[in-house]
Amino acid sequence: MEKPIKHVLFSGYAKLPTGITASEMYKVIGLILVIDIDNGEIIEADCTLATHVARRHVSEMLVGQSLKNGPDQALRLIDQVYQGSAKKAIITALRIIYDKYRSFKEGTAPSILD
């Protein structure tokens, strides 16, 4: 008997602006979210920002947010409480994740097994 899928990991990547520490280290930001598929709630969040404080802040603001009704609430929150240079990249990565989440929910997400 297959175990029902409850939590799914999604990733989104976006180019970082030049001249900030994270771009010197990574060139792109990776945003990783574990989402409860039943209610769209973000269960875990991590990203590849350069400092622990920035990574923790992004994680804490995203955990508990829901993507079930779209990304707008989470995007507004990032816009308000993250005033670092990587803001646009984080927002882009979150939009990419939302598109992947929506495709997964609709059953149209690509599979490498097909």
Residues 3-55 pLDDT 10s? 788 999 999 999 988 777 766 666 888 999 999 999 999 999 999 988 999 99
73 has a pLDDT exceeding 80: yes
End-to-end CA distance of the chain: 22
Phi–psi pair at 81, nearest 5 degrees: -105, 0
Q: Output 107 or 60, whichever has higher pLDDT.
A: 60
List Cβ neighbours of 70 (8 Å cut-off, separation of 6 or more): 98
pTM recorded for the entire structure: 0.89
Query: In the chain, helix, strand, coil percent, each to 5?
Result: 40, 25, 35
Query: Encoding tokens for residue 67?
Result: 């993507």
Amino acid at 54: A
